[in-house]
């Protein structure tokens, strides 16, 4: 699934150029010319990354970034600042308010896409189109295929997204609510037990390749994806 990028830029020509190049690179984009309209879009659905112009009409990009970082729901969204300011002090100021990268105008579309790719790989690896491989299990986001050895593993769309997220976030325990937010989306309201249903389906699909035990239940906490086997005294298939 293509990463969605919010462009907050008041110059229409720059906004259009960025949106075009994002589309060519396989990204989805939405646009806003000021912080107020950007906040409406963020409240509707969280983007995967924000391209934020420093000099916006009304609230500046710096003040808007500070507001996003103070908000529990939006504080983890990656932000790349776009600005004509070239002084080192300005760059430091942009990074200190929580920006993840900083690019000065004028910039080439190629450089911008490279910066976006780098930030997404680092902070949201499941939004990248890079192949993920782990001990014989291979997930190719471009072809939307999962294979183990020479066997193709058939997955439904939700199980595919769940596996992609878990393979790019190995060894860490995620609760049901965290998985709902990261895989289903923070504006999708479904029962937490829905996660258990899709975990069971994913385990069943991976069972044919002998990888079902990689999805481990951590009782009272959530689920973890790991190729390291649990001790025999702990069952990995007991529901939380």
Q: Region 174-201: what's the mean pLDDT?
A: 85
Interval 110-161: pLDDT, tens: 999 999 998 988 877 877 778 999 989 999 988 889 999 888 999 998 999 9
Confidence of residue 90 (pLDDT cuts 50, 70, 90): low
**pLDDT attached to residue 234:** 46
What percent of the chain is predicted at pLDDT more than 90? 56
Q: How confident is the model at residue 238 (pLDDT cuts 50, 70, 90)?
A: very low
Domains of the chain: 4-127 (3.40.50.2300), 132-225 (1.10.10.10)
What is the secondary structure of 115-147 as a DSSP string?
HHHHHHHHH-GGGS-S-EEETTEEEETTTTEEE
Tens-place pLDDT, residues 33-57: 999 999 999 998 889 999 999 889 9
Predicted TM-score of the model (pTM): 0.67
């Amino acid at each position: 699934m293509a990463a969605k990028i919010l462009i907050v830029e008041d110059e229409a020509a720059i906004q259009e150029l960025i949106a075009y190049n994002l589309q060519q690179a396989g990204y989805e984009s939405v646009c806003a010319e000021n912080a107020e309209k950007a906040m409406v879009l963020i409240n509707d659905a969280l983007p995967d990354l924000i391209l934020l112009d420093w000099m916006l009409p009304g609230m500046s990009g710096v003040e808007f970034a500070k507001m996003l970082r103070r908000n529990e729901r939006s504080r983890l969204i990656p932000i790349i600042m776009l600005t004509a300011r070239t002084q080192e002090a300005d760059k430091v100021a942009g990074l200190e308010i929580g920006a993840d990268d900083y690019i000065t105008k004028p910039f080439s579309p190629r450089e911008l896409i490279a910066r976006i790719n780098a930030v997404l790989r680092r902070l949201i690896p499941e939004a990248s189109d890079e192949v993920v491989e782990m001990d014989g299990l291979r997930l190719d986001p471009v072809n939307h295929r999962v294979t183990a050895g020479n066997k193709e593993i058939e997955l439904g769309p939700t199980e595919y997204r769940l596996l992609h997220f878990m393979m790019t976030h190995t060894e860490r325990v995620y609760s049901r609510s965290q998985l709902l937010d990261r895989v289903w989306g923070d504006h999708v309201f479904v029962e937490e037990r829905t996660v258990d249903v899709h975990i069971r389906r994913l385990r069943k699909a991976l069972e044919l390749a002998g990888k079902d035990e990689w999805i481990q239940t951590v009782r009272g906490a959530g689920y973890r994806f790991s190729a390291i086997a649990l001790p025999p005294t702990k069952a990995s298939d007991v529901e939380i």
